[in-house]
Structure formats: structure tokens, C-alpha cells
Structure 1
Amino acid sequence: MENLYKIPEHVAIIMDGNGRWARRRGLPRVFGHREGAKRVEEVIDFARDVGIKWLTVFAFSTENWGRPKEEVEAIMSLLVEYINKKVPELIKRDIRLRFMGRIDELPEMIKKSVEEGEEATKECGSMNFVVALNYSGKAEIIDAVNKAIKSGKQNITEEDFKQFLYIPEMPEPDLLIRTSGEERISNFMLWQTAYTEFYFTETLWPDFNREEFLKALYEYQSRERRFGKVLT
């Protein structure tokens, strides 16, 4: 990792391309999701090793419920399997597992695993690994507005509003990576990505490894972030 500096505090990833990866190999889509889950493990380890403090992945959107039933069931099963098997490793690596989205709407078995995973790792502090699950950027904003209304607040500031988001203390992403060649954010973290640097790669998610992550970080460190200001 020679010449790697200016490490982003928060990296968000839209993990796209599992289905296409499987289809190109003549395999059912579930094989792509399973291979993609392996990449998550590799990316978590790499992120912690280079000093990233927050890593957020878009695992399942509110729109994904419209996918074939067997695919949805496979994704949920993989999620439960991941939590049950990997939480001890996360604790050993001092990584806190967190979830954001409309978690209360998930099936009871999923909610139970989510709650147990969060509880077991709540004292970990080297890195926050956030899974966006049953998530929608528009839904997060609507939910935040409703919370603000219920609180009785009026004429709120941006800082006030941030306190009603799913994870208020989460810093805005410095870098958002999307795999598979698609160049859109697909309703992901709409509020938080106003000044985020975007990095798009043709690499399908199951092929996204440490080397690909490193390319994204090198690209990030070459950019000059302006946050809407003119730099002199």
C-alpha cells in the first residue's frame, strides 16, 4: 500500500453485479450473492487495516422485495448466516456491526439476528461496519421528517435534521464506490452524499478485491474536495 495517504474516514459501497457475475458463468443468481458475501469479508478486513473508521454497504433496498421470492430468501438466509458466523470475528477485530433502514419491517428471524449482532459488538471501536438493510434514501428522509414533527421542533437546521437520521453520529461518506459499471446512486444515502466523491468501476462485486479497493482509494486521494467552495 505504498503512497497511500489521505484515508477517507467513511467509505460507502453499492455492491452491484452479483446476478450478472453468476449469469455469465451459467449459474443461478444465488451463487453470485454467496460469492459477493465473501468479498464483503475481504473488504471489511482491508478497510480496517488501512484505517477507515466507517464502512457502509448497501445490502438490500426497500425495492429489492420485488425480486423473485427464492432470490430474496437466499439473500436473507446469507445475511443471517453471516451474522451468526462472523460476529465473533468482528469482536476479535474490534469492529462494531450496525444496521440502518426500516429494520422493524423485517421478518422476525432477521430482526432477531440484527439485534443480536448489534448488541454483541456494541463495545467495539476500531471501525463501524454498517449494513443498509431494507433501506431507501427517500424513506430515511421521510422517517426523519416524521420524527422531527413528532418531536415538536419547528424551523430546524441541517444539524437538527441530522439528529433524526437512522445513525445520527455517522459522518457523511467521503467516498462512495459503485461496482458493475452502473453510474447512479439508486436511492442510497441521498441526504448524506451531497459532497461525497463518487467512484464507479466496471468490476462486478464478486470480483471486487483488495486491489480494486486500493484503486478506488488512489483515485480518491488524487481529488481535491471543494464542498461547494472555490479553492485558491
Structure 2
Amino acid sequence: MEVLAGMVPFNVVSKGKGHFHRGTSGNLVIEHSKSSRSLKRIFNRAGLPTNTHKNIGGILWGKLIFNLNNSLNALSGLTLKTEISKLGYRKILSKLMKESLDILRLAEIRPIRSGRMIPSLAPTILNLPDFLFFKIASSMVKIDPEARSSMWEDLVQKRSTEIDSLNGEVVKLADVMGHPAPLNREIVRLIKEAESNPEILNLSLEDLAEKLEIKLN
């Protein structure tokens, strides 16, 4: 049996009673191999546009960079669209991404774009004024007004989150490289706290910035 790695770019949240809501856009990506062509055809026929890529590791790291927002969204308690519409949250996410990209660079890991979203440019785009950000972002990804991160859903349902595989993965790599990762480390701590104490959810932008020791102005 051949096992292939894959990446799902879009957000899906369970609405209950067998209803799963897809809130963002993007194509599936599966590892290139002899059997990936047939799998690609199957997914495409099923209405799931799919690409293949030889460097699936780079694709997964690229997706992880964008998934760093899962934890911020969960802590904010906002919809993805509302959160990303606020420059303050985008500034925090930009700093998280930059810290992570610096660590990947040290480890000689190159995150690869999936679709129109380019990991290396994300921190710069996130810091743009609203009118410029919306113009650029709207051409890259579509976000449903109801969409929330799966981590938010996990916390609300009092389930363990995937934080160790997201921000936690950055922290582990930072430790291996002997490089600090204070922002990602604090995010991991906050999510772990929220797993046992959901009252920490719905942090205001100001409270979150204070906990991360980030100045927004």
C-alpha cells in the first residue's frame, strides 16, 4: 500500500447533524507519485480541485505558516473575516509569521506557496493599510463571513487542539536550532491554558498584544 502526504488548504467547521461548512477557498495538494495522477482525477471528478507537487514537505510548511492564524482566531473568538479585517490582529499574525520564517530560514527549509498565497510575502501584505490589504487579499483567497478556525471549534467543544502541530512545531524547530521563538511559545501556552480554562477565550486585541508584549502603535 502506498501512503501519500497531502494538504487541505480550506477551512471546514462542523455545524452538527452531518453538516460541514467549508469557509475558505483553495485546491487540495497531494504528493507527486506514480499513483497521484489517478487520485487527482478521482478528486477532480468529485468536485475537489486537486494539484500534485514533488516537494510536499515545502507545501506543508507553507500551509503551516498560514495556519499560525488558527490559534489567534481561536483566542479572539471572532470570525476569520472579522479578525483578519482588523489591522491590529494582522500585525500580530505578521510578527508570528516573521518569527517562524526566520527559524525556517535558519533550518534551510523553504516553505512553498499553495495557490496564490506566498508565505514569504505574507508578513508584508498583512501590515498593509486596510484598503490595500483587502484589494490584494481578495484576489488570493475567499473567506466566508461565517468561517472560524477549527481550533476555535475544538476549544468550544472542549477538545484537545492541534496547537503542538502548528505553533508548537515552530517552537520545536526553534529549540533544535537554538533560536528563540517567544511569540509562538506564548501562543502555545495560551492555547494550552484555554484547553483547560475556556474562559480565556474572546481575548481583546489589546489583551492579546499585551500578553505577547507587542506594541500595536
Structure with bigger RCO (C-alpha 8 Å, 6+ apart): 1
**Structure showing the higher strand proportion among its residues:** 1
**Structure showing the higher helix proportion among its residues:** 2
TM-score normalised over the length of structure 1: 0.27
TM-score normalised over the length of structure 2: 0.28
